[in-house]
Amino acid sequence: MKFTIEAIAPLPGLQARIDSKTKPPGSLGELERLALQIGMIQRSLTPSLGQPHLLVFAGDHGAAPAGISAYPQEVTWQMVENFLAGGAAISVFARHNGLRLQVVDAGVAHDFGPRSGLIDAKIASGTRNYLEQAAMSPEQRDQALAHGAAIVDGLAGEGCRVLGFGEMGIGNTASASLLTHQLTGTPLTDCVGRGTGLDDAGLARKRALLAQAAKRANLPPDADALDVLAEFGGFEIAMMTGAMLAAAAQRMLLLIDGFIVTAALLVAARHAPAVRDYCVFCHRSAEAGHQAQLRSLAAEPLLDLGLRLGEGTGAALAWPLVRAAAAFVNEMASFASAGVSEQI
């Protein structure tokens, strides 16, 4: 798939507008950088954050039954039910912060039927076991990318300017670890964490299994990112990748959550580097591999709260800061309008 994503560029008058507000220059710190980014993305001196959405992409992983997670695979569909019922952490945070939440069934091993708040984009009932073969065929990968892009194009048509990303899938920290190792060159051991709460023995087993998967695939260090995605990704990760590329092509602001979401972004950024310009890195995950991802993307997150839940919770928690950045540009008085003397 091809996406036309333009690198963002300086907008005449935007920095001056930020500097003219009644404050010492730079005194709002990261909010000023964020305001500048939002204005450049939208090519506007008065940015609008209309129709913000948060999409939680869900999928199952064929390697999960091998013991790479502390939880059984059926937790994936059970948590989707929790999202739809409004009882999960992301449900609460999205509701209280004014984000419209929708769940995307990218490949859950369960039949939900038509449900309010659920987008049925299922590729299959989970990926194949990457310990034995590629997680998905090239055709399945491309279908997932296309589905993600189509969902975003539909939201853009409704006026969505901001898109947050979350995920759910038992075993997907393992998938993200393999993607991170392959795409950043970081030693696999440094990319593998405890996920949903593995003990020491479980962590050792997870590392051994993922080393086995990496050896089986035997990919070269410069393997194409989409080939790496097909080897180790989940349908939810592939669909997020397509959604990110389409969102950047639509000049949306992308709210990037933690480890698994950033794994999808790594793939997208290798495929189309300009996508990174449209991203707000919302928080620093407690998962070890997230540090390698952030280094590779030269990213500094807004929050560092020790989160490792996923679901898009970091994106929802950072959203008020993003709103504040746009609000001060649009609503804060300037020195001239307030009659306040400027710096000598």
Q: For Cα atoms 215, 221, 227, give the angle at the middle one, nearest 5 degrees.
A: 80
Q: DSSP secondary structure string, 135-192?
A: SS-HHHHHHHHHHHHHHHHHHHHTT--EEEEEEE-TTHHHHHHHHHHHHH---HHHH-
Helix (H) or strand (E) segment spanning residue 56: strand 53-59
Tell me if residue 331 is catalytic: no
Nearest to 175 by CA among 216, 206, 144: 206
What angle separates helix 259-271 from helix 172-184, to the nearest 10 degrees?
40
Using CA atoms, how far residue 111 sits from 12, 60, 313, 326, in Å, is 52, 13, 25, 41
CA–CA separation, 2 vs 126, rounded Å? 26
Coil, helix or strand for 57?
strand
CA–CA separation, 68 vs 224, rounded Å? 26
Rg (the chain; Cα; Å): 20
Instruction: Kindly name the residue from 32, 231, 287, 311 that is annotated as catalytic.
Output: 311
Catalytic positions, please? 311
